[in-house]
Structure 1
């Protein structure tokens, strides 16, 4: 999810990036909601500051402020809810140097490294080779995850773990601290990563 400050400071850049991704998100509405949200937050903050300055003899005034805050909070929540929903629709912005095309047929090759080898036999891709070596199972994986996925197994699985271990040991020498986070996350954390709307399912809610 893009930082609202970045959108606020670069509205045209964000609009251009969204257009390149052929997405439709109302950035002007986002900015309008953002301004409203900040106004509401400022009002509530000012009221609470005034409330804290009141003495014991200002009970009536304190209650009036409290009721006014209660009225503003649901409105603020509604504004923020719409704002967050729109922010989640914004795709990651492409680099300025990325060319615009209708689909992958208009992709541009930036450069090629080395010389392409030529073979006098029909070459196989990594999937064919892996299936022949019995280190990947695409048929069973397709039943669980859909096409273009595979169960990595046997020597390939061991190789993957070895590479992970090598990476950790290499990073540890650079004072990197490995962390194993909790397996559960709060909804707002998932939203921040752009996942929650894709996987939200009441059947797995705890």
Structure 2
């Protein structure tokens, strides 16, 4: 969430960033509400000071008419303060709502665009395999090898779920161990994180846990959510904690189940294991000083490239365009593996 004063002092840049990201947010409303909040806060403090002065004056010996006048003034001040506190609370609530709609600023080098076709390819590794036969996709292979079962999962859990079975189980566990071994050698601390997080943790990380556009499953009546990524639980691990800069950077690797509603069109029309409601993921996460963030981001990218290269997968690296970035993201590298079928 951007600082309100930053939004006020960089209003045109913030509005351009909203437009570049193809998002709906009202930066002017945030500035207006921020100014009104400051006005009300100052006025309220003045009224509270008058109330204190009035109360102090009431402690001495007073003529009856003077005391009556002070009592009337005190009652009016009490009413005025209550009214102003109510208005201030309403303004602060609306400011929070509008402020959370403002996306993070994008990296100045992030390509401007609306969707994934506008992402900029910056690197390509390997060449797609050329077959002398018609290759099968992962859905066909998984069913014929009896390692993935979509039909039974649909019967039990609904669409866009799956069972892994037989060698598919060991394949996933082997891939997890393969990646964990690389990350541990790179100085990452391994975690298996909870699959549930409090709503305030999601909001603190920059995720929206509510509303029809949210990709998050909420736990009704509990104030908690199923996590869509271990980024949430790793980010919340040090919430409310001051980390001495001498201990930075901290590199964490979190393994978790991930749950996503995938309510949009992309999720609706995807096939097989793409954009499912539940999957297992190993997440890289780093705490660092702001001036080290780009260097650490490049390091994370290099680790991911090492993992892909070690598996012999042809892939490309893309610089994600502004319209395809999530609201909290500053910059994002995507590695896209080539797969047949």
Distance 1:99 1:65 in 2: 55
What displacement does 1:142 show? 5.6
Aligned mates of 2:151, 2:127 — CA distance in 1? 34
Please list every run of 5 or more consecutive structure 2 residues that lacks an aligned counterpart in the other structure. Answer: 61-69, 223-341
Work out whether residues 191 and 197 of structure 1, in 8 Å CA contact, stay in contact via their aligned partners in 2.
Answer: no
CA distance in 2, matches of 1:64, 1:182: 53
- CA 1:102 to 1:65, structure 2 compared with 1: closer, same or farther past 3 Å? same
Q: Once the 2 structures are TM-superposed, how far is the Cα of residue 160 of structure 1 from its aligned partner?
A: 4.9
SS at match of 1:119: coil
Count of matched residue pairs = 203
Distance 1:158 1:48 in 2: 67
* CA drift at 1:31: 0.9
CA deviation digits over 1:141-171, x for unaligned, max 9?
Answer: 567565xx33242354566567389749x66
Q: 3-state SS of the aligned residue for 2:122?
A: coil
Return the structure number with greater strand share.
2
Unaligned runs of 5+ in 1: none
2:80 is aligned, of 68, 71, 75, to 68
Matches of 2:119 and 2:188, distance apart in 1 = 40
RMSD of aligned alpha carbons: 4.4
1:95 maps to: 107
The question of 1:195 aligning with 2:197 is answered no
Q: Deviations over 1:55-114 (max 9, x none)?
A: 472884665544322111221122123222323333455433233335444443222123
Which structure shows the higher helix fraction? 1
Secondary structure of the 2:33 match is helix
**How far, CA to CA, are the matches of 2:177 and 2:130 in structure 1?**
33
- State how far apart, in whole Å, the 2-side matches of 1:145 and 1:14 are: 41
Q: Which moved more, 1:49-58 or 1:123-132?
A: 49-58
Change over 3 Å in CA distance of 1:157–1:195 after alignment to 2: farther
- Distance change in 2, residues 1:106/1:185 (3 Å): closer
Displacement of 1:33 after TM fit?
0.7
Does structure 1 conserve the Cα–Cα contact (< 8 Å) formed by 2:44 and 2:84? yes
Query: Counterparts of 2:134 and 2:124 in 1: how far apart (Å)?
Result: 22
Say whether the 8 Å CA contact 2:180–2:190 is kept in structure 1. no
Hey, what's the Cα distance between the residues in 1 that align with 2:171 and 2:41? 53
Q: Equivalent residue of 2:24, what SS?
A: coil
